[in-house]
Amino acid sequence: MKLMTILKAGIAAAALGTAAPAYAQDLFDGCPSGSILQRFIGFGKTGKMPPDLGKWLNTPPAQFIEPWSPFDNVDFVGICWVSSWLVHTDDGVVLIDTLYGPFTKSLAENIKAAGVDYADIKYVLMTHGHFDHAGGAKAMKELLPNATFVMTQTGWDEATASAAASSGRRAWEMIEPEMVVADGDSIEIGGNTFKVFETPGHTWGTASYSFDVKDGNNTHRAIVIGGLGLNAIEGPSQVEAYINSVDQVRALIESPEEKLEVNLTTHGFADNLDENRQLLAQRAEGEPNLFVNPEGLLKQVARLRAGAVSRLEIEQNK
């Protein structure tokens, strides 16, 4: 690690009120999707969080990503391993997912760095009740005076139960339920339509959201698939629900009405998000936006389905 990088890490840690880490960011060089994915696959097989990976997941300097824009009306304001998205409309901004714990501060700072006034955020769409997606809801609720927080009923229930069961250093609080959405609902704001699809499997309350993204004079339909992993499975029926949800997403991609073309992932390492960010930064005028990639989205869905089919066999043989 270069001296300047070490100094920046120490400064960032000091600004966050934490001791300079024992350079958990040394675990990876930047935010490499493939390497991170392999470590998560290993974690999934053993069920035991490796100490170095756990430290990396909770070290703000290691997780920091500057805000960037894959589309004219979309900003990434998340961290290396968990996404958070801002979608601009003609009548305010929509935030998707809230991060958690030590990263609510960086989320707040990234929102500001993206040029967004907190008062302009009108909705906060949460994909599901796991802490890394809903754990920052309380901090964001205190910060965003005009925002309505949104999740499925089961998602609200899961988040409330998860927060209540948390303790010690991992303790977190959940806000009271606000707007409850169900499959087929739509939220209309500022010329954009955010459609709700209940996609249980990752959790029973997981939702996915589709909406329009702008690239110059072109408009494309994007989706945030609410849950990717099979790390909280209760049995075969949940894996079967996951497979059904993946099939539902595939049908939406192939549908001439919805025609999904863009995958804005909840976890960047699952779809080479940071590598694609770097490639997009080199885009020449007139070149297509590499995030408009329905074929890639179909491949991602196929990978998710294949993994779930394998997991179903394991669950059925327990």
pLDDT score of 261 more than 80: yes
Name the token pair of 286.
């007139």
* Sheet containing strand 179-181, strands side by side: 68-71, 74-76, 85-89, 92-96, 121-125, 148-152, 179-181
Segment 207-231 mean pLDDT: 96
Q: How confident is the model at residue 1 (pLDDT cuts 50, 70, 90)?
A: very low
pLDDT tens-place string over residues 57-115 = 999 999 999 999 999 999 999 999 999 999 999 999 999 999 999 999 999 999 999 99
Mean pLDDT of 13-30: 52
Q: How far is CA 52 from CA 26, 78, 186, 267, in A?
A: 10, 21, 42, 19
The pLDDT-based confidence of 262 (bands split at 50, 70, 90) is: very high
Q: Above 60 in pLDDT, residue 123?
A: yes
Residue 272 placed within a domain: yes
**Considering the domain boundaries, does residue 236 fall inside one?**
yes
Q: What is the CATH number of the domain that holds 119?
A: 3.60.15.10
Comparing 30-44, 198-212, 260-274, 281-295, the range with the smallest average pLDDT is 30-44
Contact 47, 54 (CB under 8 A): no
Q: Is pLDDT above 90 for 20? A: no
The neighbour count for residue 120, using CB atoms within 10 Å, is 17
Q: How does the average pLDDT of the chain come out, rounded?
A: 91
Whether 182 maps to a domain, the answer reads yes
> How many structural domains does the chain have?
1
The set of residues, in sequence order, having a beta carbon less than 8 Å from that of 219 and lying 6+ positions away, is: 212, 213
Residue span of the structural domain in which 222 resides: 32-44+68-316
pLDDT at 41: 85
Q: How far apart are CA 277 and CA 162, in angstroms?
A: 33
Residue 208 lies in a domain: yes
88: left (phi over 0), alpha (psi -120 to 50) or beta: beta
DSSP calls for 37-98 = HHHHHHHHHH----HHHHHHHT-HHHH----EEEETTEEE---SSS--EEEEETTEEEEE--
Give yes or no for residue 267 having a pLDDT over 80.
yes
Task: Say which residues have a Cβ less than 8 Å from residue 150's Cβ, sequence separation at least 6.
Answer: 123, 124, 125, 126, 178, 179, 180, 181, 187
Enumerate residues 6+ apart whose C-beta is below 8 A from 156. Answer: 129, 177, 180, 205
d(C-alpha 232, C-alpha 73), whole Å: 33
Report residue 164 as tokens: 């209540």
Residue 9's pLDDT band, with cuts at 50, 70 and 90, is very low
pLDDT tens for residues 134-143?
999 999 999 9
Strand partners, 222: 211, 262
Instruction: Assess if residue 23 is contained within a domain.
Output: no
* pLDDT for residue 10: 31
For residue 19, is pLDDT > 60? no
Residue 79: the pLDDT is 98
Residues 231-251 pLDDT 10s: 889 999 999 999 999 999 999
Q: How confident is the model at residue 11 (pLDDT cuts 50, 70, 90)?
A: very low
pLDDT value of residue 191? 98
**Position 7 confidence tier, pLDDT thresholds 50, 70, 90:** very low
Q: Can you tell me whether residue 306 is helix, strand or coil?
A: helix
For residue range 271-314, what is the model confidence (pLDDT) as tens digits? 999 999 999 999 999 999 999 999 999 999 999 999 999 999 99
Q: Is residue 25 part of a domain?
A: no
pLDDT in tens, 152-173: 999 999 999 999 999 998 899 9
**pLDDT computed for residue 31 by the predictor:** 96
Is 9 domain-assigned? no
CA distance 88 to 74: 6
Cα–Cα nearest to 226, from 195, 255, 205, 243: 205
> Is residue 119 a part of any domain in this protein?
yes
At 22 the pLDDT is: 44
